[in-house]
């Protein structure tokens, strides 16, 4: 019985550790990844003005009733270095 209790404790510790790693990922890492994906998507179809593509707008939907505004400077810099 002692052995089974020890295995249960290790299972609980493992589940709690996995939950802690998942919570850290979703709270701190995932928002950055999501923002980068979203910015890359909108920068791909954006109309940019200003020096170094800093004032960009893109339509979020087909009728352009919602727009995205942001900077695509880092996106285009990354594209230029990948093309070389």
Name which of 63, 39, 66, 67 is nearest 53 in CA terms: 39
Q: Please write the tens of the pLDDT for every residue from 43-79.
A: 888 888 877 778 889 988 888 899 988 888 888 777 7
- pLDDT over threshold 70, residue 2: no
Q: Where are the beta strands (DSSP E) in the chain?
A: 47-49, 55-59, 67-70
**pTM summary value:** 0.64
């Amino acid at each position: 019985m002692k052995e089974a209790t020890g295995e249960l404790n290790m299972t609980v510790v493992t589940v709690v550790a996995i939950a802690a790693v998942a919570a850290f990922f979703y709270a701190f890492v995932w928002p950055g990844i999501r923002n980068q994906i979203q910015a890359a998507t909108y920068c791909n179809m954006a109309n940019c003005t200003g020096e170094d593509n800093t004032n960009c707008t893109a339509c979020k939907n087909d009728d352009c009733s919602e727009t995205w505004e942001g900077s695509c400077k880092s996106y285009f810099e990354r594209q230029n270095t990948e093309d070389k």
